[in-house]
Amino acid sequence: MAARTAVERGNPTLKEPIMRVEVVVPEDFLGDVISDLSGRRGSIEHLDSAPGGTQEIRAKVPLAEMFGYATALRSMTQGRGSYSMEPSHYEQVSEQLAEQLVMKMTGRRLVRH
């Protein structure tokens, strides 16, 4: 009960890990991959031509959205895309997402003071 009271009074913020993602895909699949990353709450930071008619995409994407990405990328690119990711930083989640997560975990609405 003390921990719950402290959290309610402390007005904490919820942060999530953001990953630096680098994807290399044939040019034919560039639009689909960019669209998919955006749908995963990702932000595209850089596009660059790479050898062999491929494109390199650099983006920042929340880690929670990257689960299952290897399978999705293989499907989108007929197995010809590859990616790597590494931790970048932590970022505060939107109030809407925080509300959804708190409701899912506790069954209670997020209380803001």
What integer best gives the mean pLDDT of the chain?
90
* Dihedral sign from CA coordinates of 75, 77, 80, 81: negative
Is 90 exceeded by the pLDDT of residue 103?
no
Q: Which two three-digit tokens encode residue 27? A: 């040019």
Condensed to tens digits (0 to 9), the pLDDT of residues 34-57 reads: 999 999 999 999 999 988 899 999
The pTM of this model reads 0.81
Q: Give the chain's domains with CATH numbers.
A: 17-106 (3.30.70.240)
Condensed to tens digits (0 to 9), the pLDDT of residues 51-100 reads: 889 999 999 999 999 999 999 999 999 999 999 999 999 999 888 887 88
Alpha carbon distance 97, 68 (integer Å): 20
Helix, strand or coil, per DSSP, at residue 46: strand
